[in-house]
Amino acid sequence: QSVLTQPPSVSATPGQKVTISCSGNSSNIGNNYVSWYQHLPGAVPKLLIYENDKRPSGIPDRFSASKSGTSATLAITGLQTGDEADLYCGTWDSSLRVVLFGGGTKLTVL
Amino acid sequence: QVQLVQSGAEVKLPGSSVKVSCTASGGGPFSGHTIAWVRQAPGQGLEWMGRIVPVVGVTDYAQKFQDRVTITADSSTRTAYMEVSGLRSEETAVYYCAKVGPAYTLSDWGQGTTVIVSS
Protein backbone atom coordinates (compact mmCIF):
# COMPACT_ATOMS: atom_id res chain seq x y z
CA GLN A 1 0.00 0.00 0.00
CA SER A 2 1.40 3.38 -1.07
CA VAL A 3 2.13 6.14 1.43
CA LEU A 4 0.61 8.54 -1.09
CA THR A 5 -3.06 7.77 -1.63
CA GLN A 6 -4.76 8.16 -4.99
CA PRO A 7 -8.16 6.88 -6.15
CA PRO A 8 -7.65 3.67 -8.16
CA SER A 9 -9.73 4.89 -11.06
CA VAL A 10 -11.70 7.80 -12.47
CA SER A 11 -13.77 8.02 -15.59
CA ALA A 12 -15.53 10.68 -17.62
CA THR A 13 -16.75 11.35 -21.13
CA PRO A 14 -14.90 13.33 -23.79
CA GLY A 15 -14.94 17.04 -23.16
CA GLN A 16 -15.57 16.72 -19.46
CA LYS A 17 -13.28 17.52 -16.53
CA VAL A 18 -11.78 15.14 -13.99
CA THR A 19 -9.81 15.70 -10.84
CA ILE A 20 -7.46 13.25 -9.20
CA SER A 21 -6.39 13.59 -5.59
CA CYS A 22 -3.13 12.60 -3.95
CA SER A 23 -2.98 12.52 -0.17
CA GLY A 24 0.17 12.28 1.92
CA ASN A 25 1.59 13.69 5.15
CA SER A 26 3.97 16.30 6.48
CA SER A 27 7.05 14.21 5.62
CA ASN A 28 6.23 14.19 1.95
CA ILE A 29 3.59 16.38 0.30
CA GLY A 30 3.35 18.73 3.26
CA ASN A 31 6.94 19.91 2.91
CA ASN A 32 8.03 19.01 -0.61
CA TYR A 33 7.05 19.74 -4.18
CA VAL A 34 4.66 17.42 -6.00
CA SER A 35 5.02 16.14 -9.56
CA TRP A 36 2.48 14.35 -11.71
CA TYR A 37 3.28 11.72 -14.35
CA GLN A 38 1.20 10.34 -17.20
CA HIS A 39 1.82 6.74 -18.19
CA LEU A 40 0.09 5.95 -21.45
CA PRO A 41 -0.34 2.28 -22.40
CA GLY A 42 2.86 0.90 -23.90
CA ALA A 43 4.75 4.16 -23.37
CA VAL A 44 7.25 5.64 -20.95
CA PRO A 45 6.10 7.70 -17.95
CA LYS A 46 5.93 11.36 -18.91
CA LEU A 47 6.21 14.41 -16.67
CA LEU A 48 2.95 16.36 -16.70
CA ILE A 49 3.37 18.74 -13.77
CA TYR A 50 6.35 19.71 -11.64
CA GLU A 51 6.83 21.85 -8.54
CA ASN A 52 3.13 21.49 -7.63
CA ASP A 53 1.61 23.46 -10.50
CA LYS A 54 4.08 24.07 -13.33
CA ARG A 55 3.73 22.53 -16.78
CA PRO A 56 6.77 21.49 -18.84
CA SER A 57 6.89 22.90 -22.33
CA GLY A 58 4.59 20.98 -24.64
CA ILE A 59 2.04 20.04 -21.98
CA PRO A 60 -1.29 21.66 -22.87
CA ASP A 61 -3.02 23.93 -20.39
CA ARG A 62 -5.85 21.39 -20.15
CA PHE A 63 -3.64 19.88 -17.44
CA SER A 64 -3.35 21.79 -14.19
CA ALA A 65 -2.55 20.98 -10.58
CA SER A 66 -2.50 22.43 -7.12
CA LYS A 67 -1.34 21.59 -3.64
CA SER A 68 -2.82 22.42 -0.26
CA GLY A 69 -1.33 21.18 2.98
CA THR A 70 -0.69 17.46 2.68
CA SER A 71 -2.77 16.91 -0.46
CA ALA A 72 -2.40 17.64 -4.14
CA THR A 73 -4.88 17.60 -6.99
CA LEU A 74 -4.50 17.12 -10.73
CA ALA A 75 -7.22 18.47 -12.99
CA ILE A 76 -7.74 17.63 -16.65
CA THR A 77 -10.28 19.57 -18.67
CA GLY A 78 -11.59 18.97 -22.18
CA LEU A 79 -10.94 15.24 -21.88
CA GLN A 80 -9.87 13.38 -24.99
CA THR A 81 -9.80 9.65 -25.64
CA GLY A 82 -6.03 9.94 -25.99
CA ASP A 83 -5.83 11.01 -22.34
CA GLU A 84 -6.57 7.46 -21.17
CA ALA A 85 -3.61 6.58 -19.01
CA ASP A 86 -2.37 5.79 -15.54
CA LEU A 87 -1.60 8.95 -13.62
CA TYR A 88 0.83 9.09 -10.71
CA CYS A 89 1.68 11.74 -8.18
CA GLY A 90 5.22 11.80 -6.86
CA THR A 91 7.15 13.64 -4.20
CA TRP A 92 10.22 13.41 -1.99
CA ASP A 93 9.75 11.98 1.48
CA SER A 94 12.11 13.69 3.91
CA SER A 95 11.89 10.89 6.49
CA LEU A 96 12.20 7.87 4.20
CA ARG A 97 14.62 9.70 1.89
CA VAL A 98 13.03 8.33 -1.25
CA VAL A 99 10.79 9.63 -3.98
CA LEU A 100 7.34 8.27 -3.28
CA PHE A 101 4.73 7.63 -5.92
CA GLY A 102 1.04 7.31 -5.40
CA GLY A 103 -0.53 4.01 -6.30
CA GLY A 104 -1.68 5.40 -9.60
CA THR A 105 -5.10 6.36 -10.95
CA LYS A 106 -6.43 4.77 -14.10
CA LEU A 107 -8.19 7.38 -16.20
CA THR A 108 -10.86 6.07 -18.53
CA VAL A 109 -12.44 8.34 -21.12
CA LEU A 110 -15.71 6.69 -22.03
CA GLN B 1 16.67 17.66 -22.21
CA VAL B 2 18.53 14.38 -21.76
CA GLN B 3 17.95 11.30 -23.87
CA LEU B 4 18.34 8.05 -21.92
CA VAL B 5 18.76 4.74 -23.74
CA GLN B 6 18.61 1.52 -21.77
CA SER B 7 19.89 -1.97 -22.50
CA GLY B 8 17.64 -4.66 -23.85
CA ALA B 9 15.28 -7.13 -22.23
CA GLU B 10 16.65 -9.91 -20.05
CA VAL B 11 15.40 -13.31 -18.96
CA LYS B 12 17.05 -14.54 -15.78
CA LEU B 13 16.90 -17.54 -13.51
CA PRO B 14 15.87 -17.09 -9.88
CA GLY B 15 18.92 -16.40 -7.74
CA SER B 16 20.95 -14.93 -10.58
CA SER B 17 21.91 -11.31 -11.17
CA VAL B 18 21.04 -8.76 -13.82
CA LYS B 19 22.79 -5.52 -14.74
CA VAL B 20 20.87 -2.89 -16.69
CA SER B 21 22.57 0.06 -18.35
CA CYS B 22 21.31 3.57 -19.07
CA THR B 23 23.30 5.75 -21.46
CA ALA B 24 22.72 9.50 -21.58
CA SER B 25 23.09 11.88 -24.48
CA GLY B 26 22.54 15.61 -24.55
CA GLY B 27 21.76 17.78 -21.55
CA GLY B 28 25.30 18.80 -20.60
CA PRO B 29 27.95 16.98 -18.56
CA PHE B 30 26.79 13.57 -17.39
CA SER B 31 28.59 13.93 -14.10
CA GLY B 32 26.26 16.78 -13.23
CA HIS B 33 23.16 14.64 -13.53
CA THR B 34 21.44 12.60 -10.87
CA ILE B 35 20.12 9.32 -12.26
CA ALA B 36 17.43 7.33 -10.51
CA TRP B 37 16.08 3.85 -11.07
CA VAL B 38 12.35 3.13 -10.86
CA ARG B 39 10.66 -0.25 -11.08
CA GLN B 40 7.20 -1.22 -12.26
CA ALA B 41 6.06 -4.78 -11.68
CA PRO B 42 3.19 -6.13 -13.78
CA GLY B 43 -0.09 -4.54 -12.73
CA GLN B 44 1.67 -2.45 -10.10
CA GLY B 45 2.66 1.18 -9.76
CA LEU B 46 5.97 2.97 -9.91
CA GLU B 47 8.55 2.25 -7.21
CA TRP B 48 11.72 4.24 -6.49
CA MET B 49 14.76 2.03 -6.09
CA GLY B 50 17.60 4.49 -5.62
CA ARG B 51 19.80 7.09 -7.27
CA ILE B 52 23.35 8.04 -8.07
CA VAL B 53 25.07 11.41 -8.32
CA PRO B 54 28.02 10.64 -10.61
CA VAL B 55 29.93 13.86 -9.90
CA VAL B 56 30.46 12.82 -6.29
CA GLY B 57 29.86 9.08 -6.66
CA VAL B 58 27.15 9.16 -4.04
CA THR B 59 24.35 6.61 -4.08
CA ASP B 60 21.37 6.04 -1.90
CA TYR B 61 18.72 3.36 -1.98
CA ALA B 62 15.19 2.76 -0.81
CA GLN B 63 15.43 0.56 2.25
CA LYS B 64 13.96 -2.53 0.60
CA PHE B 65 16.62 -2.44 -2.10
CA GLN B 66 19.67 -1.70 0.04
CA ASP B 67 20.91 -5.25 0.33
CA ARG B 68 20.64 -6.53 -3.25
CA VAL B 69 20.76 -3.51 -5.55
CA THR B 70 23.90 -1.69 -6.64
CA ILE B 71 23.83 1.50 -8.70
CA THR B 72 27.00 2.69 -10.37
CA ALA B 73 27.99 5.14 -13.09
CA ASP B 74 30.80 5.67 -15.59
CA SER B 75 31.07 9.33 -16.53
CA SER B 76 33.50 8.57 -19.38
CA THR B 77 30.76 6.65 -21.21
CA ARG B 78 27.84 8.66 -19.79
CA THR B 79 26.31 5.43 -18.53
CA ALA B 80 24.60 4.49 -15.30
CA TYR B 81 24.11 0.89 -14.23
CA MET B 82 21.71 -0.87 -11.91
CA GLU B 83 22.45 -4.40 -10.77
CA VAL B 84 20.09 -6.64 -8.84
CA SER B 85 21.47 -9.81 -7.28
CA GLY B 86 19.61 -12.81 -5.94
CA LEU B 87 16.71 -12.25 -8.31
CA ARG B 88 13.27 -13.47 -7.29
CA SER B 89 10.31 -14.19 -9.53
CA GLU B 90 8.38 -11.30 -8.03
CA GLU B 91 11.08 -8.97 -9.34
CA THR B 92 9.88 -9.52 -12.87
CA ALA B 93 9.29 -5.92 -13.88
CA VAL B 94 10.12 -3.07 -16.17
CA TYR B 95 13.08 -1.13 -14.85
CA TYR B 96 13.38 2.54 -15.82
CA CYS B 97 16.20 4.99 -15.39
CA ALA B 98 15.28 8.65 -15.11
CA LYS B 99 17.04 11.97 -14.71
CA VAL B 100 16.30 13.63 -11.41
CA GLY B 101 15.85 17.37 -11.70
CA PRO B 102 15.18 20.11 -9.15
CA ALA B 103 12.58 19.28 -6.52
CA TYR B 104 13.10 15.57 -7.29
CA THR B 105 11.25 15.89 -10.58
CA LEU B 106 11.85 12.96 -12.93
CA SER B 107 12.03 14.94 -16.13
CA ASP B 108 13.49 12.46 -18.61
CA TRP B 109 13.02 8.71 -18.69
CA GLY B 110 14.69 5.81 -20.42
CA GLN B 111 12.56 3.53 -22.54
CA GLY B 112 12.49 0.85 -19.85
CA THR B 113 14.10 -2.58 -19.65
CA THR B 114 11.96 -5.65 -19.11
CA VAL B 115 13.51 -8.19 -16.76
CA ILE B 116 11.78 -11.54 -16.52
CA VAL B 117 12.76 -13.83 -13.67
CA SER B 118 11.67 -17.37 -14.35
CA SER B 119 12.92 -20.90 -14.09
Identify residues of A whose CB sits under 8 angstroms from chain B CBs: 2, 32-33, 35, 37, 39, 44-47, 50-51, 56, 86, 88, 90-92, 96-104
Count of CB atoms situated within 10 Å of the CB of B94? 18
Residue of B nearest to A33 (CA): B103
Average pLDDT of the residues in A6-20:
97
**pLDDT the model gives residue B55:** 84
The β-bridge relationship of strands B113-117 and B10-12 is: parallel
Q: Is residue A18 within 8 Å of A10, Cβ to Cβ? A: yes
Whether residue B31 is predicted with pLDDT greater than 80 in this model: the reply is no
- How many residues are given for chain B? 119
**pLDDT the model gives residue B29:** 80
Geometric angle at alpha carbon A15, from A10 and A17, rounded to 5°: 45
pLDDT in tens, B95-108: 999 999 999 999 99
Average pLDDT of the residues in A31-55:
96
Chain A interface includes B31 (CB < 8 A)? no
**pLDDT the model gives residue A81:** 95
Count of CB atoms situated within 10 Å of the CB of A57? 5
> Which parts of chain B are beta strand (E)?
3-6, 10-12, 18-25, 34-40, 46-53, 58-61, 69-74, 79-84, 93-100, 106-109, 113-117
As a whole number of angstroms, the distance between CA B97 and CA B99 comes to 7
**pLDDT the model gives residue B27:** 79
Whether residue B47 is predicted with pLDDT greater than 90 in this model: the reply is yes
pLDDT in tens, B70-97: 999 998 999 999 999 999 999 999 999 9
As a whole number of angstroms, the distance between CA B104 and CA B70 comes to 20
Write the residue in B60, B104, B109 that is nearest to A44 by C-beta.
B109
As a whole number of angstroms, the distance between CA A88 and CA B36 comes to 17
Whether residue B6 is predicted with pLDDT greater than 80 in this model: the reply is yes
Whether residue B54 is predicted with pLDDT greater than 90 in this model: the reply is no
% of chain A residues with pLDDT over 70:
99
The CA dihedral of B1, B7, B12, B15, to the nearest 10 degrees, is -60
pLDDT in tens, B7-30: 999 999 999 999 999 999 987 888
Whether residue A33 is predicted with pLDDT greater than 80 in this model: the reply is yes
Whether residue A1 is predicted with pLDDT greater than 80 in this model: the reply is no
CB contact under 8 A, A104 and B48: no
CB contact under 8 A, B110 and A102: no
pLDDT in tens, A53-88: 999 999 999 999 999 999 999 999 999 999 999 999
